[in-house]
Amino acid sequence: MKTQNLRTILLTICSLSYLLVGAAIFSALEFDYDQEMQKSMKKIHKTLVKKYNISEEDVKMWLKYLDNKANIDADLYQWSFAGSVYFATTVITTIGYGHTVPKTDRGKIFCMIYAAVGIPLALTMFQAIGERLNTFLAHMFRRMKKKFGMKNTEVSNTANMVVLFGLFCMVVTVCSGAFIFSHYEKWTYFQSLYYCFITVTTIGFGDYVALQDSQRFNDTYVGISLLFIFFGLTIVGSVMNQLALRLLTASQTKEPTEQLIHEGPRCDKCASFRSIHNFEQFEPYLDNSSTLLKNFEEEISFTTYKGLHRKRASI
């Protein structure tokens, strides 16, 4: 138990350290550029105000108009049935680009209820499919080992070859999706690659979002986008499930074998009772829950034996 607590503490410290290191790197990479952009935008703002002799209120009104107009033009297509399917997908998969949002109170209320029910269903579905995919891959590798005449044909769902193959499928999926979106969206390949990775990992920044140009918004392209999202999330769910299982397996401490199982019974009176049930044939228990369950079963067996013994003595 102490070792498990220590490992949990170490894992927490590593996670927080990774978080802080990542934040420091992002700050170092993006801070200077962001400051330059702010200075540039302020300079352009002053130039336009001075050139056209307009007030700050007029500038704010004009910016609000441009923002609303862009949203209205997009919403003409985003809230069609096909667009709504795309939006609902981004909700239940927790991608949440933020490109389209419900603006009415009734829409916001339904969105909260819909997400509260849909997100657990979607996460359970992707996890279940990922587990079945891992099992299928392990089965295929076992058959390959048998075919090549290898002696050890055992392959677990978290074996190195299964994990590596899952990572390979993830890379192929992201790279293939990047080709598709670079063609439809006219993005560079790197921009499309970035969009695909951010999408299938459900990060969903919203800086790049597909289906925003009304000229490219059609049912076929919506279907392709949804197919990529579901297939990509399935592959990523499988890989993340493998990695999580490996981490959990590595972090678990194997408990010492219960002494009572292999060193004999608690007392001489129940020796015959234990020999009848042949407890020595049981394999060592490797986790706390199994050990506790075993102890509970032994207590019941010992209590039952004492009751039978007393009953026979009284007779």
CA distances from 151 to 145, 147, 159, 168 (A): 8, 11, 17, 26
Tens of pLDDT, residues 143-170? 887 887 777 777 776 667 777 888 898 9
**Residues 239-274 pLDDT 10s:** 887 777 777 776 664 544 444 444 444 555 454 444
Residue range 277-295: mean pLDDT, rounded = 46
Burial of 206 (0-12, 13-18, 19+ CB in 10 A): middle
Give the pLDDT band (50/70/90) at residue 113. Answer: very high
Tell me the two tokens of residue 43.
């300079």
Structure tokens at 294: 């075993």
Long-range contacts of 254-259 (CB under 8 A, 24+ apart): 254/286, 255/285, 255/286, 255/287, 255/288, 255/291, 257/284, 257/285, 258/284, 258/285, 258/291, 258/294, 258/295
The whole-number average pLDDT for the span 17-40 is 89
Residues with Cβ < 8 Å from 87, sequence gap 6 or more?
A: 78, 79, 100
Query: Residues, the chain, total?
Result: 315
